[in-house]
Amino acid sequence: MPRSITSVAVFCGSNFGDSDAYADGARRLGQALAEAGITLVYGGTTKGLMGVVADSLINAGGTAHGVITEKLRQRGHAHPGLHRSEIVASLRLRKQRMVELADAFIAMPGGIGTMEEMMEVWTMNQLSEIDKPVGLLNIADFYRPLLTFIDHMVSCKFLPPEHRHSISVDPDPAALIDRLRHFVPTNVPKWL
C-alpha cells in the first residue's frame, strides 16, 4: 500500500548552477508536487533553485510552506508569495522544523547546505529516528559522483549494501514522487 505523502521538504541550491537544466528540473518538480496535491516545505527564500521550485508550484496552484531564518529574512531573502512562512532563529531550528513538517524529502542539485540536509535525514532514517523516505532528483546526472562515493562506502564496508538503496533516485519528478510513495525501508541494521 502506498504511503500517504501530503508534504515534501525540498532541499536545493540557493544558486542556479551552470546549466538551465537545473532550473528546468526545479520547475518540473514544482509542477509535479502541485499536480500531486503535495505541499512544498522548503527554506522559504526567492534565491536560486529554491525560488524556482516555489514559484513553479505556486503558479501551478500548489501550496508552499517556507521556513526561513531571521538573518535571511533580514537580508530580504523571504519569498513574499508563500501560503505560509515561518521565521526561526537558526539554521538548526529551520532544519528541525522542516523535518517535522515533511512526510518525505527530495534533494535537488545544490551546495553544501543541500548535501548536509539530505545526509542528516538519510541518517535519521538509517537510525530509525524517522520513517520518511529520501529521494535525489538526479537532474542532468548531478548526483552521479555522490552515488559513486556511496558505492565506495559499501565496497569499503562502511555501509551495508541494503542501505545503498535506502534513498530513491530518479531524474523525473513524478517518477521520484511515486518511488517515495512506494518506498519500503530496509530492516538490515547499519552495523556490519
Percent of the chain with pLDDT over 70: 100
| pLDDT, position 191 | 83
| pTM higher than the cut 0.95 | yes
pLDDT tens, 41-51? 999 999 999 99
Q: Please indicate whether residue 105 or residue 186 has the higher confidence score (pLDDT).
A: 105
How big is the chain, counted in residues? Answer: 192
pLDDT digits (tens, 9 = 90+) for 159-184: 999 998 899 999 999 999 999 999 99
- Please give the DSSP secondary-structure letter assigned to residue 165: T
Distance spanning both ends of the chain, measured CA to CA: 30
- Give the burial string for 152-174 (b: 16+ CB within 10 Å, else e): eeeeeeebbeebeebbbbbbbbe
Q: What torsion do the CA atoms of 136, 2, 6, 120 make, to the nearest 10 degrees?
A: -40
Considering the domain delimited by 7-181, tell me its CATH architecture: 3-Layer(aba) Sandwich (3.40)
d(CA 98, CA 8): 9
Q: Is the pLDDT of residue 12 over 90?
A: yes
Stretch 80-106: mean pLDDT, rounded? 97
Domain residue ranges of the chain, discontinuous segments joined by +: 7-181
pLDDT, the chain, mean: 96
Confidence of residue 188 (pLDDT cuts 50, 70, 90): confident
Could you tell me the CA-to-CA distances from 62 to 3, 7, 45, 177 in Å, in that order? Answer: 20, 11, 16, 15
